[in-house]
Amino acid sequence: MKITELIAAMSGSFTHPSHQNYIAQLSIDCVIFGYQDATLKVLIPKLNFKGDFYSLPSGFVRQEEDLDQAALRILEERTQLANIYLQQFHVFGNADRHNERFMLDLLALNPQLTGPQEEYDWYVRRFVSVGYYALVDINKVKPQCSELDEKMEWIPVQELPKLILDGAEIIAKALKAMRLHFDDHVVGYNLLPETFTMKELQQLYETVFDKPYRRNNFQKMILDLNIVDRLEKQFTGAANKAPYLYTFKPTSNK
């Protein structure tokens, strides 16, 4: 067994020198959104490389694996979360979306990723990448670095660093697609606790769409969408002042 295979077998990691098991020149990039302190954030790996290089959690597709399965696997590897909301949104296929010099330098610093010289070639070729976005509960995520990462950070979408390749475009397209799906698919249920007030839901919408809503209009919109159930008020000393709690309807998860 080659040392590279041994390492891969031990780490069970997303990169793998036995490249014949993967579809060549096809990758998946994940834009993982979380919501915290009324702020929309993205999980961003910082590469283990001289200088500040940021990328997106990504991986490859196994020959026997559905594309969606691969995305779920990659997401689980990087967040330790299973069964979360994941949506394919765009394929990024420009011919110039690779940087051979950069990759060679990066791989030279991470010799465990490659064996013989020709395995480098697998990495440095052009990749067509399928973008998926996920909506997760930040508190449940345990970010996992790949072998290429120094660390992973939750960064507000308004404060993103410069990303390698077309990372900025991928996040912009993910955000646009997520907003488009937001009402239809009620994807927000992943971002809030089990029960929430109308005010908390409004804050989530204001953050996602980056615009204010008027309270009455917002409430009417949500009730018209028919996506939440109002719960009984809990008895407390000042029950009549406590806001109603809501929960997403079970059938609205799709």
Binding site for a copy of itself (CB under 8 A): 2, 4-5, 7-8, 11, 13-14, 19-20, 23-26, 61, 63-70, 88, 90-95, 116, 118-119, 126, 128, 130, 180
Local structure of 240: helix, strand or coil: helix
Q: Which is nearer to a copy of itself, 20 or 240 (CB)?
A: 20
Length of the chain: 254
Shortest distance, position 189 Cβ to a copy of itself, whole Å: 22
Local structure of 47: helix, strand or coil: strand
Q: Which is nearer to a copy of itself, 11 or 253 (CB)?
A: 11
Shortest distance, position 111 Cβ to a copy of itself, whole Å: 17
Alpha helices by DSSP H, listed for the chain, are 3-11, 67-79, 100-108, 117-124, 167-185, 198-209, 215-225
Q: Which is nearer to a copy of itself, 13 or 197 (CB)?
A: 13
Q: Is 116 left (phi over 0), alpha (psi -120 to 50) or beta?
A: beta
Shortest distance, position 9 Cβ to a copy of itself, whole Å: 12
Q: With 0-12 CB in 10 A as exposed, 13-18 as middle and 19+ as buried, what is 28?
A: buried
Q: Which is nearer to a copy of itself, 95 or 238 (CB)?
A: 95
Shortest distance, position 112 Cβ to a copy of itself, whole Å: 18
Residue 33: count of CB within 10 angstroms of its CB: 24
Shortest distance, position 29 Cβ to a copy of itself, whole Å: 12
Distance CA 222, CA 198 (A): 9
Q: Which is nearer to a copy of itself, 65 or 76 (CB)?
A: 65
